Chains A and B, each alone.
Chain A
Amino acid sequence: MNEKLIEFENVTMFYNDPEEAEADKNIAPALIGVDFTVNKGEFVAVLGHNGSGKSTLAKLCNAIYEPSSGTVKVKGIVADNDDKADEVRRIVGMVFQNPDNQIVATIVEDDVAFGPENLGIEPKEIRRRVDDALKAVNMYDHRHREPHKLSGGQKQRVAIAGVLAMQTECIVLDEPTAMLDPMGREEVMQTVHRMNKEMGITVVLITHFMDEAVKADRVVVMDSGRIVMQGKPREVFSQVEKLRSHGLDVPQSTELCNMLGIKNSVLDVDECVEEITKMLGGAR
């Protein structure tokens, strides 16, 4: 079960030239000595405020960037040339924040087909994969529509279908819900969870919404290019003060129970209701 899919070993990342950065002390690296692993089938949420390095982490998983120092291995492959980078991208797919800027074609199904087409797959097989992927994200009925006429949540689901059709083992989502309304967020998060549970796809979710991280298998908290906290959501979110010091809030239910002085750690609304009922000492 604990097969390692993505491994970061002591990764440091400068966006500028490292020598230049050394000369100018004001340039901070985006990542400093990060060790990070993602196991197969896991759902990892990466949290952090703006500029904490979480997006950089995502882009390193997918060989878009090469680390300034240290190694990133995906299934043992180090992407140090274009061919290997391509191999990595066949294993790890990526969904970006802005749905508009990642849809390539003028028709939904053509866009989903874009990835498999690039992989050089047989036309009939592409058709099958595209249909399956669109059904998996509940967008099959919209397959002939034009992307610009879809809602944000629908567009983002099309983008996810585009990765599914490539049949990657892992999908990295870089703040996929940041530009969506609450409804769209819900749609996308349900899809992502279903992918993880039913299809066994490894998920790395980069987000700054605490509520989305609650259901993850593991939460990683980043600040100033370092991983500062790591563990099960319950362990991480129980440390309210420490999270705050890294510029993050805790989920609202957790915060409420914390303020009420409830000792047990609470993650979602149901648990919160239960605890408060218990505190009030009465039946609901």
Chain B
Amino acid sequence: MIRDITIGQYYPGKSLLHKIDPRMKLILTFAIIIVIFLCKNFFSLGIIAVTAVAAALLSRVPLKMILKSLKPIVIILLFTAVLNIFYTQGGATWFEWKYIKITEKGVFTALFTMVRIVSLVIISSLLTYTTTPTMLTDAIERVLSPLKIFKIKVHTLAMMMTLALRFIPTLIEEIDRIMNAQKARGADLETGGIVQRAKALVPIFIPLMVSSFRRAYELAFAMTCRCYTGGEGRTRMKQMKLSGVDFFALFACVLITAGIVVLNHFFEAVI
């Protein structure tokens, strides 16, 4: 089971969304996320919802996977909805019983926030569904490279991210092995209270730490042997080039933003 894990949640495919340059995708995703918070009424919010759904369809990522990305936020959604319904007051009263009073504004705000959060999660998870972690770290390195003028070591940070991604599966395997080894020595990991169980984890994490340090040491040797001296003078095999698709995506995002600004202007704000 552990051998099958994929790093990140990349869904391999050849859709339009997969083809967008990762740098462009990264920037546009951030831009759209900001735009989501600019929406003030249901019309502009509608555009965002349609965008999210359209993007999901374009990516050809199965519905099941998208729903899976929404699963962890169900509780947050319900929580915010309930709070909004009961605590936001205003407009016509729809329901009243003792202390509970549900108003038009409360329901609208609750709906609004829910749609907003769902769109946000769909759009941001589409980024990770259609981009491999390697491409993403590459994109982050390149997008952040102007920060070099502030003496921020962007390359080093990106390299650390790549290595972290690379070693996640290796360390998971290692934990599995150590746990089995400790179980074979009679370690009890499954019973007892929280404190007891937390204590039982100590003999797992100590060997893990030790071996991680050893791995780091060996990896540093291996990297030195392959002439790694940091970001300077390095070239990249995979060059990133902006193409028609990227400008199309950029254009689409500009249109969406413009549409939202216009609709915000002409219709009354709900939130």
Q: Which residues of A contact B (CB under 8 A)?
A: 59, 62, 64, 86, 89-90, 93-94, 96, 98, 100-107, 109-110, 113-123, 126-127, 130, 146-149, 162-163, 166
Please determine whether B234 and A120 come into contact, CB atoms closer than 8 angstroms: yes
Among A102, A122, A148, the residue within 8 A (CB) of B222 is A102
Please determine whether A94 and B218 come into contact, CB atoms closer than 8 angstroms: no
Q: Which of A102, A148, A162 is packed against the most chain B CB atoms within 10 Å?
A: A148
Q: How far is the CA of A117 from the CA of B230 in the complex (A)?
A: 11
- Binary CB contact string for chain B from 232 to 250 against chain A (1 if under 8 A, 0 otherwise): 0111111100000000000
Please determine whether B166 and A106 come into contact, CB atoms closer than 8 angstroms: yes
Q: List 9 A-B contacts (CB under 8 A).
A: A59-B221, A89-B224, A96-B218, A104-B162, A116-B235, A117-B234, A117-B235, A127-B237, A148-B3
- Assuming A106-B166, A130-B237, A148-B173, what are 7 further A-B pairs, CB within 8 angstroms? A64-B221, A94-B222, A100-B170, A102-B218, A107-B132, A117-B236, A123-B238
Count B interface residues, CB 8 Å.
32
Residues from chain A with a CB closer than 8 A to the CB of B239 are 123
Residues from chain B with a CB closer than 8 A to the CB of A117 are 234-237
Q: Which of B132, B219, B234, B235 is packed against the most chain A CB atoms within 10 Å?
A: B235
Residues from chain B with a CB closer than 8 A to the CB of A107 are 132, 134
Residue ID in chain A nearest B134 by CB atoms? A106
Among B166, B219, B225, B236, the residue within 8 A (CB) of A64 is B225
A283 to B: closest C-beta gap in Å? 50
- Binary CB contact string for chain B from 192 to 235 against chain A (1 if under 8 A, 0 otherwise): 00000000000000000000000100110111111111000111
Is B169 interfacial (CB-CB < 8 Å)? Answer: yes
Residue ID in chain A nearest B225 by CB atoms? A94
Interface residues of B in 1-37 (CB under 8 A from A): 3, 6-7
Q: At the interface, is chain B mostly helix, strand, loop or mixed?
A: helix
- Binary CB contact string for chain B from 104 to 134 against chain A (1 if under 8 A, 0 otherwise): 0000000000000000000000000000111
Residues from chain B with a CB closer than 8 A to the CB of A103 are 166
Which 8 residue pairs of A and B lie closest in terms of their CB atoms, listed nearest first? A102-B222, A113-B237, A101-B218, A148-B169, A115-B226, A126-B237, A118-B227, A94-B225
Please determine whether B237 and A120 come into contact, CB atoms closer than 8 angstroms: no
Q: How far is the CA of A71 from the CA of B227 in the complex (A)?
A: 22
Residues from chain A with a CB closer than 8 A to the CB of B227 are 86, 89-90, 115, 118-119, 166
B228 to A: closest C-beta gap in Å? 5
Among B134, B165, B219, the residue within 8 A (CB) of A101 is B219
B20 to A: closest C-beta gap in Å? 19
Among A86, A104, A113, A149, the residue within 8 A (CB) of B166 is A104
Please determine whether A118 and B218 come into contact, CB atoms closer than 8 angstroms: no
Residue ID in chain B nearest A120 by CB atoms? B233
Q: A117-B235, A118-B229 are in contact. Are A102 and B219 (CB under 8 A)?
A: yes
Please determine whether B235 and A123 come into contact, CB atoms closer than 8 angstroms: yes
Residues from chain B with a CB closer than 8 A to the CB of A146 are 6-7, 169
Please determine whether B163 and A104 come into contact, CB atoms closer than 8 angstroms: yes
Residue ID in chain B nearest A85 by CB atoms? B224
Q: A104-B163, A115-B227, A166-B227 are in contact. Are A110 and B237 (CB under 8 A)?
A: yes
A79 to B: closest C-beta gap in Å? 12
